[in-house]
Amino acid sequence: MIVVTGGAGFIGSNLVAALEARGIADLVVCDRLGQADKWRNIAKRELAAIVPPERLLDFLDANAKEIACLFHMGAISATTERDADLIVRENFTLSLALWAWCARHSVRLIYASSAATFGDGAQGFDDDGSTAALARLRPLNAYGWSKHLFDRRVARLVAEGKSAPPQWAGLKFFNVYGPNETHKGSMKSMVAHIYPRAVAGEPARLFRSHQPDYADGGQLRDFIWVGDCVDVMLWLYDNPGTSGLFNVGTGTARSFADLAAAVYRALDREPRIEFVDTPVEIRDKYQYFTQAKMDRLRAAGFKRQFTPLEAGVTEYVKGFLHAADPYR
């Protein structure tokens, strides 16, 4: 049995689909579905159970002998969320409880961290998981801080030789795009935001730069196709001897203007862009540049090449957003 928290969410539901495609029958999703269409992310899957987060630990205890691996993708991922107590409860306290449970029952744990832990990038984007290196990072929002807080606790427990899962891996996902993200609303990828405007023949709206080093639309991010993220997680599942904190990006930063152009060209249209001011409330928390340093994952043995931006955007637009059924 494999349990995926956040399994009806964006990255989690893509992982569940890939695990099912491998023929794994006993798949358990832990998530809240709510009253919208989030359920469609898992509507095609055969599942052994759907467990609400507040009952997860009871479920794990009742099925401890059956569980081989726990993928912990569940979190409050909105960078604009202001309720820090809620974020700590969902992103830190529960994660600690799952770490302890997996250690106690010798269950493998692969969990989602975030590139938001790097803050403004002043310390670079090296996934050094040592306690000293992590102490230097300064996340810009409560979401990034909560993920960083857990990374630091894991680093401390490992450094002190405390009880740990037989395999553990924290994944610092960069800017992920792909199917099954509709429920994320304003937190969807820029591909999903730009697509309807491109279809309507309207210009994409990108934030103006408020730093002299970057032209409007020239802000740079490491955009990664969700299928590549899933490939990394499956590779870790296939390599139970590999543990650590790893970046999950392409290693190549591209501009928002490049991203917008890729969406229009996937629809065989000429790119159109207009610029709007970055909202004041996020202006001092904005990452102008991200680029994953991928040396550690490569050194661990992951050899597969990552999908180029244009290829990934085209697959997303033509295969999902522009299809009759946009869900994986």
Catalytic residue numbers, as ranges = 143, 184
Sheet of 49-51: strands edge to edge?
Answer: 49-51, 27-30, 2-5, 69-72, 108-112, 168-173, 244-248
3 state SS of 170:
strand
Give whole-number Cα distances, 93 to 4, 21, 230, 311, in Å: 17, 32, 25, 38
Dihedral, 84, 86, 88, 93 alpha carbons, nearest 10:
170
Asked whether 3 and 67 are in contact (CB, 8 A), the reply is: yes
Q: Which amino acid is at 19?
A: L
Cα R_g (the chain), whole angstroms: 19
DSSP string, 180-205: S-GGGGGGS-HHHHHHHHHHTTPPEE
Gap between the Cα atoms of 16 and 31, Å rounded: 12
